[in-house]
Amino acid sequence: MMLTTHFLVPRPSSSSSTASTASTSSSMSSSPSTSSEACAVCGDAVNGKRYGAPACLGCIVFFRRAVINKSQYKCWKKGNCVITFASRCVCRCCRLRKCFHVGMKPEAIQRRDLLGPRKPKTILTDDMSQSIEVALNFSPSPPQSSCESDNGDLSVFDIDALVHLQRDQRSQHEAYSIHQIDTIGCVQMKSTGKYHRRARAHDINFVLKLGLENANEWGNQFEPYRNLSQRDKNMVLSEFGFGFLLIDQGYKTTQRADDGFWILQNDTFMHPNYFFALSEEDAKKENAQKKAEFHYSFVNELVKCVSDPFKKLRIDEFECAILKTVLLLTPSFPGQVVYKDVEYLHNKCMSELMEHSAQKSPDNGAERFGEIILLDGTSNVWYLKDTVPRGFGILMVRYIKSTIPRGYDTSRIRYL
């Protein structure tokens, strides 16, 4: 998986590489480097010096792939990550920066086949030249994918970067959660003691836009999504975007809401009783009763199909990241959008979830795995994704039509 960013770290000049190597080794790696056989980047056993500095096989493959693909990475810690054997897969940006600092040279990389692959996608390194058929059956050497670990260890699915992205997005949500406590429209949750304001029209507008932006950022972490045409991306987002925001809202609801409440990304709430915490002026409006009928059904469905199962299963952030990824990789309109090289990603995602479920619930890991997958595979998230606009009302439909770029599939959006 590649995290896009604003820059590709340039290689320092040869006159400064020696000084940079010394300073970087001490500041960016806590691994002991007393042995000359230690990788200059992460401290692992050296495989060779083919690119100008002693490096392990994992860092050699990582550096070669990053240069050939002209990869651009983003550091979530402002470039201050410590690169060690244990942490080298956590931040690709800092790892690539250190490769340059220790003296690895892009010009030393030889391109044996300038024409590249004969089929769309899949650049195979020397140690990953197995057939695609074997790869999709969980061979030790599957084709390169955007979620393959940098060191060639395919038992490690790079879900950590997705979890990190999710934390970053949710921390951004918190910045929008500071509300003025009004006399009318605010409720203190008994479970947390925190005040939440009743969601208003502009809150619905905001969380919809925020959810779509977050979903698009998530999709861009995967090369099969990045390779789609803009029209196909729009079609995927018209569906995936709603499921994505429901997962974030469902998780926040289980963490912060009292029974019956539904919490949006910006900490505003919805309640099955439409008139609960509603201003007297709005309650007297002509269409208030009709809105109340749809509102009751919609919020109850949200709680029943998402937050209640999340609470029962104690869904954690790792499982949220898996659910989002599975939703992205399994659109409900096969034949209209065709992903390239996605089967391995999906299978590896399932494998990681199964392992996580077994660790979290040793006695019934397989049962837990099935229940989590059913959150995606049955009517729960997909059904609610399909009915979100109905529940949010005509206002959301108008907002969708005015903000979603041309090409989105809005045929699923239902009017009140």
CA distance 241 to 250: 14
Return the ∠ at Cα 13 (arms to 11 and 19), rounded to 5°. 100
User: Tell me: the pLDDT tens digits for 79-98?
Assistant: 888 998 888 888 889 999 99
Residue type, 416: L
pLDDT of residue 321: 93
User: Tell me: the pLDDT tens digits for 238-279?
Assistant: 888 888 999 999 999 999 988 889 999 988 999 989 888 888
CATH 3.30.50.10 corresponds to the domain 14-108: yes
Residues 6+ positions from 403 with CB-CB distance below 8 Å? 209
Structural domain boundaries of the chain? 14-108, 159-403
The helix/strand/coil state of 337 is strand
Q: Do 305 and 299 meet the contact criterion of CB atoms below 8 Å apart? A: no
For 331, the token pair is: 């659109």
Give residue 55's pLDDT band: very low, low, confident or very high (50, 70, 90): very high
Tell me what the mean pLDDT of segment 177-188 comes to: 66
Q: Do 257 and 307 meet the contact criterion of CB atoms below 8 Å apart? A: yes
Taking the whole predicted model, whether its pTM rises above 0.95 is answered as: no
Q: Write the CATH number of the domain with boundaries 159-403.
A: 1.10.565.10
Tell me what the mean pLDDT of segment 320-343 comes to: 79
